[in-house]
Amino acid sequence: MASATLSVDLKALAANWQDLNTMADGKAAAVVKADAYGLGVAPVAKALAWAGARDFFVAVAEEGAILRKTLGKGPRINVFSGHMEGDTKLIRDAKLTPMLNSVDQMLRHVEALPGHPFGIQLDTGMNRLGMEDVEWSALRDLALAQKPTLIMSHLACADDPDHEMNAQQRQVFQEMTQGVTTPLSLAATGGTLLGSDYHFDMVRPGIGLYGGLPFIDARPVVSVDIPVIQIRDVAVGETVGYGNSWTARSPSRIATISAGYADGIIRAMGPQAHFYAQSSAVPVVGRISMDLIGVDVTGLAEEPTHLELIGSHQSVDTVAGFADTIGYEILTSLGARYTRVYN
């Protein structure tokens, strides 16, 4: 079989959520947007619900409708993008809870779905989603009279515990919600790790559930193993791959493996990247192409039948570093061609 294998450890995923839930002063939700960060929303969400999660977050209403079919009636499914034009039927039928981001969204929601649950998202300095202070001040009394389920904001620099923006946003959030009895939420994974001052009533971990930084104590969730299609001898002076970008300086054994940038192995990783044959690191040679990668397996005691990209020897964040990116991008870029195994 030439397809690479993407394995997801659902027990580790559930344990990561439980650890973060225990850490939280209030309760922990679970962020499963982007098809559960590329890992498959149905098995991931079921495992998280089994672990105890009752509040879930998705990016858009379409994701929420899919998630509702998986989870059934019980859990609350919150939508970060709010109530967009055209979302009304999905929000009503799938019983979604939009996080309203503007006056326009507020008016759309209360007019189209009076009495339907909603939350509020506030902008505390990230300038991405949410109502700014002037907008919130004008809308606050009306919004609170409708009894929102949650008021939330999002930290811009939580991955850096010493960044002054964290305390600044917390202060703004406290000022904007002073006197409010509605449940409050500010922290995702990074904010959860900042400590109880950032927890309020709910934390919303995402990347930490899937084994990514900044949750350094997370259990590994993902492994990626790629089959070797062919191994060949390459003589001194011969080249490998497009553009003749790698030239053999000594007699070499080069494995061609069955994956490439179509599978989320970013082309820019190039010569910085390496794989593992059991406990031995083996470097990429030549350019990463759409479906194939050359790897130097010279000197291995045994010829490998597959190579590990992510697993016990290197994390998703290590792999992300090969392309100067973050683990989020690697996870969400993993393509549809992997044989997916859930255990």
Q: Which of 33, 37, 261, 338 is catalytic?
A: 33
- As a whole number of Å, the end-to-end CA separation of the chain is 20
Provide DSSP, 187-242: --HHHHHH-GGGTTTEE---GGGGT-TT-TTPPP-EEEEEEEEEEEEE-TT-EESG
Task: Return the percentage of the chain with pLDDT > 70, whole number.
Answer: 100
Q: Provide the pLDDT confidence category of residue 1 given band limits of 50, 70 and 90.
A: low
Summarised one tens digit per residue, pLDDT across range 292-322 is 999 999 989 999 999 999 999 999 999 999 9
Q: Which of 46, 242, 261, 338 is catalytic?
A: 242
Summarised one tens digit per residue, pLDDT across range 240-280 is 999 999 999 999 999 999 999 999 999 999 889 999 999 99
Q: Provide the pLDDT confidence category of residue 33 given band limits of 50, 70 and 90.
A: very high
- Cα torsion 245, 251, 256, 261 to 10°: value is -20
Q: Is 338 a catalytic residue?
A: no
Q: Is the pLDDT of residue 2 over 90?
A: no
Q: Is 261 a catalytic residue?
A: no
- Burial of residue 25, with CB atoms counted within 10 A of its CB: 0-12 exposed, 13-18 middle, 19 or more buried: middle
Q: What domains can you pick out in the chain, each with its CATH number? A: 10-210 (3.20.20.10), 222-342 (2.40.37.10)
The mean pLDDT value for 91-106 works out to 97
